[in-house]
């Protein structure tokens, strides 16, 4: 409950900030959307950084490091330090100067004039809004997950289905409303101030979290040495032979369990006698959750108590791993034994673990503050549903196979940060700058700020793979990556600190949501309503009202998606960024290539979004986290295809008029 109170106070502070900044609102749409070009270097740095660091940076990076190891930092963070600043330097300053000179508020206004094309907005508007929605989704979804995880057990009897904590749908809703309110009141100025405040909050609390967690793990050295001992592959980008051997052993044991369960539960050709079970338990030493099943399986296999055909074995593996059983059963799997890799080609049944976990552990699930056995407190506390699901996954599903990071994938990740060049909300932030010189601080400090946030998060995620707490592993196998940071904060800190640290995580999430909310409202009014309705038709008050209404609509749609969305934050984020990156060649050429034509831009945009849609579908709509195309990140194909289409079509079509070229390239 303490955590909940602290989060509530923090959200109240933000609302106060929004309302306070509204007192400085000048009443014009220009002020609402661009803070009247009045933002100085520090506010610009903090607002740009806060905007680019999302749930993706905190929740996603620690979760992804937990899954993939330290290589995650090089894949995205250090490359972003180079590429983001490159985009600010090469694109931001030029676009700011044109925006200031010609009065642009949105990217589409710039493209319409630069390309002499009114219709480009018709194509770009739905694409940009369509790509912003998954970006919003990441924040809305993560905020709900974080609040839910941290408030487990906060209520005595309410929300039993959510482990007596705030349900994710409610957490997401509250965060969306708070951000909506301060964006409504404060506009861009309020957003810049709130971003600055929140960026300071999440950076400071992030560092505090890091040191608190490391001290709970016995210090920096002990935490890292545990990884070196138990999961050395997480410290590099290759697979350590020790991890490979450990996995082979675990997979072999898991296969025995799968076969034993199939023989006893499906074929019903085997039942161990009480004496045999007793002997099995006596011979089995490791005492992990559900260890009895493993003991029985090992005993039955060792004593050759059953025999399965190849087909039956393959079916046993599919069943044990909750995979969809192919119908008809492929001929080849009646004679060949499936590898783990082949097994994973079959999708896992949706929510398979929910029913099973409730069935198996139903009598253990309850309020996490209540004793499992009121007459014997030494047996521990009741299990949360999340714990039951975790134990089910850990004891039933096949162990994760260690895999190296592909060098080609690592290299082609470099295309992902190009997305900042086309983020509509960042474009809008660039335009708020007071002068070109205002960009200097963000350009220099951005890589350092990324490092300050990402290095601790990546280390914490990696430590989570091997950490023990109160004598037991902190996380069982198959623990949901998105919940790693919140779970560590909850388990390893005091309720007061956990409340503050959660506020820090929420700050990072909200500091991106606000800019995105504002930007989609701006795009709708400027690029659609005012553009097609006529600028004299609406008063400034009406324009602001329409912006706010459209924001509510998009937030409502995003919120609706968040109720359905189960994907990994990191994977979804990468797809969203890839879409924006695929449009990077267009913005870069518009700024630096005089020969870019209207037709070339159309070709580039259509190819970008076409390849994005095709590859997104191929990747199971982000359900395959390690999907690659031609061995590379899909974004590489999108960027290259889009650039090629844009260049080729531009070269064979009529260049823009001399007036336009003089307008944008006067120095030449």
Partner 1 sequence: MRYAVYGLVVVLIILHQDNWLWDDKRLILGFMPITLLYQAGISIGAAIVWFLATKFAWPHHLEEIAQESPAPAPAPEAASETAPETGDTE
Q: What is the CA radius of gyration of the chain?
A: 27
| Binding-residue total with partner 1 (CB under 8 A) | 82
Q: Are 330 and 338 in contact (CB under 8 A)?
A: no
- Out of 210, 306, 410, 614, the only residue in the binding site for partner 1 (CB under 8 A) is 410
52-81 residues in contact with partner 1 (CB under 8 A) are: 70-71, 73-74, 77-79, 81
Q: Are 33 and 428 in contact (CB under 8 A)?
A: yes
Q: Is 105 in the site for partner 1 (CB under 8 A)?
A: yes
Q: Which part of the chain contacts partner 1 (CB under 8 A), choosing from 356-364, 481-489, 530-538, 639-647?
A: 530-538
Cα separation, 515 vs 524, whole angstroms = 14
Q: Is 31 in the site for partner 1 (CB under 8 A)?
A: yes
CB nearer partner 1, residue 230 or residue 277: 230
Q: Is 125 in the site for partner 1 (CB under 8 A)?
A: no
- Out of 43, 141, 146, 455, the only residue in the binding site for partner 1 (CB under 8 A) is 455
Q: Which part of the chain contacts partner 1 (CB under 8 A), choosing from 50-58, 106-114, 128-136, 255-263?
A: 106-114
Q: Is 340 in the site for partner 1 (CB under 8 A)?
A: no
Q: Which part of the chain contacts partner 1 (CB under 8 A), choosing from 87-95, 317-325, 348-356, 369-377?
A: 87-95
Q: Which part of the chain contacts partner 1 (CB under 8 A), choosing from 108-116, 337-345, 479-487, 630-638?
A: 108-116
Q: Is 225 in the site for partner 1 (CB under 8 A)?
A: yes
- Out of 131, 256, 300, 445, the only residue in the binding site for partner 1 (CB under 8 A) is 445
- Out of 1, 5, 97, 267, the only residue in the binding site for partner 1 (CB under 8 A) is 97
246-275 residues in contact with partner 1 (CB under 8 A) are: none
Q: Is 444 in the site for partner 1 (CB under 8 A)?
A: yes
Q: Is 116 in the site for partner 1 (CB under 8 A)?
A: no
Phi, psi of 652 (to 5 degrees): -105, 10
Q: Is 511 in the site for partner 1 (CB under 8 A)?
A: no
Helices (H), 475-595: 484-492, 495-523, 531-533, 540-562, 569-582, 584-592
Q: Are 51 and 505 in contact (CB under 8 A)?
A: no
> Residue 85 CB, nearest distance to partner 1 (Å)?
5
- Out of 253, 290, 435, 653, the only residue in the binding site for partner 1 (CB under 8 A) is 435
Q: Is 104 in the site for partner 1 (CB under 8 A)?
A: yes
* 328: preceding bond cis by omega (within 30 degrees): yes
Q: Is 427 in the site for partner 1 (CB under 8 A)?
A: no
Q: Is 238 in the site for partner 1 (CB under 8 A)?
A: yes
CA dihedral for 92, 96, 97, 99, sign (positive or negative):
positive
Residue 402 host element (H or E):
none
- Out of 261, 540, 610, 628, the only residue in the binding site for partner 1 (CB under 8 A) is 540
CB nearer partner 1, residue 530 or residue 646: 530
CB nearer partner 1, residue 85 or residue 314: 85
Cα separation, 650 vs 70, whole angstroms = 42
Coil/strand/helix, residue 57: helix
Mark residue 305 as left, alpha or beta (left: phi above 0; alpha: psi -120 to 50; beta: remaining). Answer: alpha
334-368 burial by CB neighbour count: b if 16+ within 10 A, else e?
Answer: eeeebebeebbebeeeeebbeebbeebbeebbbbb
Q: Which part of the chain contacts partner 1 (CB under 8 A), choosing from 35-43, 50-58, 274-282, 580-588?
A: 35-43
Name which of 1, 528, 466 is nearest 235 in CA terms.
Answer: 466
Q: Which part of the chain contacts partner 1 (CB under 8 A), choosing from 379-387, 447-455, 607-615, 638-646?
A: 447-455
Q: Which part of the chain contacts partner 1 (CB under 8 A), choosing from 145-153, 262-270, 443-451, 560-568?
A: 443-451
Q: Is 572 in the site for partner 1 (CB under 8 A)?
A: no
Q: Is 462 in the site for partner 1 (CB under 8 A)?
A: yes
Q: Which part of the chain contacts partner 1 (CB under 8 A), choosing from 348-356, 405-413, 571-579, 656-664?
A: 405-413
- Contacts by 353-361, CB closer than 8 A, 24 or more apart: 353/322, 353/389, 353/392, 353/393, 353/396, 354/389, 356/322, 356/392, 356/396, 357/385, 357/388, 357/389, 357/391, 357/392, 358/385, 358/388, 360/388, 360/392, 361/388, 361/391, 361/392
Q: Is 531 in the site for partner 1 (CB under 8 A)?
A: yes
Name which of 232, 234, 147, 651 is nearest 461 in CA terms.
Answer: 234
Half-sphere exposure of 52 (CA within 13 A, CB side): 34
Chain CA centroid to CA 282, Å: 45
Pattern of binders to partner 1 over 364-403, x per CB under 8 A?
Answer: ----------------------------------------
> Hey, what are 525's tokens?
């009014």
Residues 6+ apart with CB under 8 A from 437: 41
Q: Is 82 in the site for partner 1 (CB under 8 A)?
A: yes
Cα separation, 182 vs 190, whole angstroms = 7
CB nearer partner 1, residue 535 or residue 624: 535
- Out of 19, 20, 36, 358, the only residue in the binding site for partner 1 (CB under 8 A) is 36
Cα separation, 195 vs 13, whole angstroms = 13
Instruction: Please state at what angle helix 385-396 crosses helix 352-361, rounded to 10 degrees.
Output: 100
State the residue for tokens 């369960």.
Answer: 261
Q: Which residues pair with 50 in a beta bridge?
A: none
Q: Is 201 in the site for partner 1 (CB under 8 A)?
A: no
> Residue 627 CB, nearest distance to partner 1 (Å)?
22
Q: Which residues pair with 101 in a beta bridge?
A: none
> Residue 262 CB, nearest distance to partner 1 (Å)?
38
- Out of 15, 19, 22, 38, the only residue in the binding site for partner 1 (CB under 8 A) is 38
Q: Is 440 in the site for partner 1 (CB under 8 A)?
A: yes
CB nearer partner 1, residue 44 or residue 93: 93
> Residue 464 CB, nearest distance to partner 1 (Å)?
14
Pattern of binders to partner 1 over 280-299, x per CB under 8 A?
Answer: --------------------
> Residue 32 CB, nearest distance to partner 1 (Å)?
10
Neighbours of 117 (CB within 10 A): 18
């Amino acid at each position: 409950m303490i955590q909940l109170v602290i989060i509530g106070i923090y959200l109240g502070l933000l609302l106060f900030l929004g309302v306070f900044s509204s007192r400085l609102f000048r009443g014009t749409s220009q002020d609402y959307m661009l803070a009247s070009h009045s933002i100085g270097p520090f506010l610009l740095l903090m607002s740009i950084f806060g905007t680019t660091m999302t749930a993706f940076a905190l929740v996603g990076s620690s979760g992804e490091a937990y899954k993939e190891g330290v290589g995650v930092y090089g894949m995205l963070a250090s490359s972003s330090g180079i590429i983001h600043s490159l985009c600010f330097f090469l694109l931001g300053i030029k676009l700011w100067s044109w925006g200031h000179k010609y009065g642009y508020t949105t990217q589409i206004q710039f493209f319409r004039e630069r390309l002499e094309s009114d219709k480009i907005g018709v194509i770009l508007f739905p694409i940009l809004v369509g790509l912003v929605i998954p970006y919003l989704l990441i924040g809305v979804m993560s905020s709900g997950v974080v609040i839910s995880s941290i408030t487990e057990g906060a209520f005595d009897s309410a929300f039993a289905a959510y482990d007596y904590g705030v349900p994710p749908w409610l957490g997401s809703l509250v965060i969306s409303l708070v951000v909506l309110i301060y964006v409504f009141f404060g506009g861009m100025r309020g957003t810049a101030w709130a971003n600055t405040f929140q960026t300071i909050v999440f950076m400071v609390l992030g560092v505090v979290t890091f040191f608190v967690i490391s001290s709970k793990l016995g210090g920096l050295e002990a935490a890292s040495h545990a990884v070196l001992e138990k999961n050395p592959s997480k410290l590099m980008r290759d697979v350590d032979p020790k991890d490979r051997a450990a996995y082979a052993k675990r997979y072999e044991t898991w296969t025995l369990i799968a076969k034993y369960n199939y023989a006893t539960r499906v074929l019903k050709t085997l039942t161990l006698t009480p004496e045999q079970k007793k002997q099995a338990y006596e011979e089995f030493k490791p005492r992990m959750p559900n260890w009895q099943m493993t003991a029985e399986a090992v005993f039955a296999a060792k004593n050759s108590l059953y025999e399965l055909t190849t087909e039956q074995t393959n079916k046993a593996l599919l069943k044990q791993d909750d995979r969809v059983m192919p119908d008809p059963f492929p001929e080849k799997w009646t004679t060949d034994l499936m590898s783990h890799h082949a097994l994973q080609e079959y999708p896992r049944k949706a929510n398979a673990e929910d029913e099973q976990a409730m069935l198996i552990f139903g009598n253990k699930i309850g309020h996490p503050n209540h004793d499992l056995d009121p007459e014997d407190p030494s047996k521990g506390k009741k299990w949360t549903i999340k714990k039951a699901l975790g134990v089910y996954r850990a004891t039933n599903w096949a162990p994760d196979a260690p895999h190296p990071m592909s060098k080609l994938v690592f290299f082609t990740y470099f295309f992902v940060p190009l997305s900042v060049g086309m983020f509509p909300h960042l474009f809008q932030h660039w335009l708020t700058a007071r002068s070109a010189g205002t960009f200097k601080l963000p350009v220099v400090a951005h890589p350092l700020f990324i490092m300050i946030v990402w290095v601790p998060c990546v280390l914490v995620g990696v430590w989570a793979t091997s950490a023990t707490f109160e004598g037991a592993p902190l996380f069982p196998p198959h623990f949901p990556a998105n919940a790693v940071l919140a779970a560590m904060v909850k388990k390893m800190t005091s309720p007061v600190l956990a409340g503050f640290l959660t506020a820090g995580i929420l700050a990072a999430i909200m500091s991106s949501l606000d800019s995105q909310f504002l930007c989609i409202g701006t795009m709708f009014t400027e690029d659609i309503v005012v553009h097609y309705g006529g600028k004299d038709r609406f008063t400034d008050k009406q324009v602001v009202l329409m912006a706010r209404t459209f924001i509510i609509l998009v937030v409502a749609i995003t919120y609706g998606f968040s109720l359905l969305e189960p994907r990994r934050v990191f994977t979804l984020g990468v797809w969203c960024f890839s879409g924006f990156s695929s449009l990077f060649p267009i913005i870069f050429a518009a700024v630096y290539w005089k020969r870019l034509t209207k037709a070339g831009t159309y070709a580039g945009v259509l190819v970008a979004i076409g390849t994005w849609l095709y590859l997104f579908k191929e990747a199971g709509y982000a359900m395959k986290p390690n999907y690659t195309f031609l061995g590379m990140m899909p974004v590489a194909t999108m960027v290259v295809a889009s650039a090629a289409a844009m260049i080729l079509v531009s070269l064979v079509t009529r260049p823009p008029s001399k007036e336009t070229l003089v307008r944008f390239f006067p120095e030449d």
